[in-house]
Structure 1
Amino acid sequence: MVGGLIKGLRVIETFDRDHPRLAISDVARETDMDRATCRRLLLTLVSLGYAEHDGKFFKLTPRILRLGYSYLHTASLPSIVQPLLEQMSRETEESCSVSVLDGQSIVYIARASRQRVMSINLNVGSRLPAYCSSMGRALLAFMPPDQARKLLEKASRPALTAKTITEILPLMAELAKIKRQGYAIIDEELELGLRSIALPLYDNRGNVVAALNIGAQAARVSVKKMRDSFLPHLLHLQADLRQVYAPD
């Protein structure tokens, strides 16, 4: 293990949508490292072109995207699933996405968007909490229950709307239901006005490798339509991918 690399990655992960500009003191507080170490790490990122410094605040530069694109270029799943997503999006006239689990969050690795369905703009690399997103629940439901429970217990679980399920026992009951029926539906728990349906994606060995969803505005699409009209599309793509995706 290389301690300097670990510390550098922790500094990079401190920046997010809510914290695009950070002072040395902010980074030190978030990473629990001393200011001198954070200063050296941040200035190293600046010297390599991964960050900028205006004299007080640091922010990441577009060069940091190379790190994410390195994954996308070497992982076959996003390249395989992207054209399938685009076809499904055309057929349903809704936004379709694929994500993977990263800690207590999901990370988008492929997306075909017909229109903006959330207040935030979702793209490849966007993150959402797993506990209240359809793809997050689809992924949690198909892992060992004790492992899913540990992830939920570690996660911050604020009530994002009046409908958000936040308590452990109801969440675990919901995960059990999702596993029985094979898919997850989120009805305005992540954001008011948003409904989505998701299910797990498998490789050709039967391993869950990601989750797939369709999201739509609640004013236009009922829960019943999600089951009746969208679920068949999801199941079709799920079956197609299982036949062709063989990870290294």
Structure 2
Amino acid sequence: MTEAPSPTGYSVPPVERALKLLRYIGEGERARNLSVVSRDLGINRTTLIRLIHTLLDHRMIEELGDGAGYRLGAGMVSLGAQAIHSRDFVQVCQPVLRNLCRDTGMSAHLGVLEGRDIIYLGREAPNSHLVSNVRTGSRLLAHASSIGRAILAEFPDATLRQLFAGDEPEQATEKTPETIEAIIAQAHRDKAAGFAWSEGNYEPGIGSCAAAIFDHTGQAIAGLNVSGPEARFTGNDVALSDAVLTAARTASAELGYLDG
């Protein structure tokens, strides 16, 4: 296995080898047989032993008992957590909203779930009079808004029942689900589609499409959407839903989510 040259020409081979070994172990290989690891990674066995001991010293990997090999260590976990927490959520997602707004010509929004509501944390609007009235800080019903629906679609039924237990769900329009079971049925449809599609569901005359954003643990922590005149959402506009899904995947990847 030959090491590929760095595209910049500034690669440091020992660092490259250490990173290859960390990725190898991180992908589930326990590196029990060093001869096999040496062959798989194209690293000299003596060099490999030195790398392993260096990574052990810095707690980037840790040894499993009974000669079972190695796994990523506490030092690596801590380093990864620091990288994730150093990235401001809204700051990371804002360029994604900006690109989505540019590509679709519609307002793009970022929202998070708080209780039964969605709070909007970010917004990008096109240079057009046909823009959404939703502003940063706005609070909308989760089960009626597209971003809320996209997030709720990722929840187990039991969580939805717990969230909406007690008072009957509020109504935004006649299209808003009126019962917990109707909310669950809507969540199942949105989950199957991969996105939440609205044709005047929250506000007559306004359509939207939303998808969930996932963090590094695979949890749905937010959602983004585009919204505009309902006429643009009549029927199944695959290009529009694809643009929203691509934006959500990009935001998720920036937050450390590894899809599949």
Same fold, TM-score > 0.5, yes or no: yes
Gaps of 5+ in 1: 1-73
Q: Deviations over 1:118-152 (max 9, x none)?
A: 5xx32211110111111111111112211112222
Q: Which amino acid aligns with 1:127?
A: R
CA distance in 2, matches of 1:183, 1:220: 16
Give 2:161's aligned residue. 149
Gaps of 5+ in 2: 1-85
Contact 2:208/2:233 (CA < 8 Å) preserved in 1? Answer: no
CA distance in 2, matches of 1:143, 1:196: 21
**Aligned partner of 1:92 among 104, 115, 124:** 104
The reply on whether 1:102 has 2:98 as its aligned counterpart is no
Contact 1:165/1:189 (CA < 8 Å) preserved in 2? Answer: no
Q: Between Structure 1 and Structure 2, whose CA radius of gyration is higher? A: 2
Q: Which amino acid aligns with 1:245?
A: L
Give 2:184's aligned residue. 172
CA distance in 2, matches of 1:204, 1:141: 18
Q: Which amino acid aligns with 1:198?
A: A
**Aligned partner of 2:245 among 221, 235, 238:** 235
CA distance in 1, matches of 2:142, 2:96: 24
RMSD of the alignment, in Å?
A: 2.2
Q: Deviations over 1:32-62 (max 9, x none)?
A: xxxxxxxxxxxxxxxxxxxxxxxxxxxxxxx
Contact 2:168/2:179 (CA < 8 Å) preserved in 1? Answer: no
Give 1:244's aligned residue. 254
Q: Tell me the percent identity.
A: 29
Q: What TM-score do the two structures reach when normalised by structure 2?
A: 0.60
Q: What TM-score do the two structures reach when normalised by structure 1?
A: 0.62
Contact 1:104/1:154 (CA < 8 Å) preserved in 2? Answer: no
Q: Which amino acid aligns with 1:188?
A: G
- Number of residue pairs aligned between Structure 1 and Structure 2: 170
Give 2:230's aligned residue. 218
SS state of the match for residue 224, structure 1? coil
Q: CA deviation at 1:162?
A: 2.7
SS state of the match for residue 169, structure 1? helix
Q: Deviations over 1:9-32 (max 9, x none)?
A: xxxxxxxxxxxxxxxxxxxxxxxx
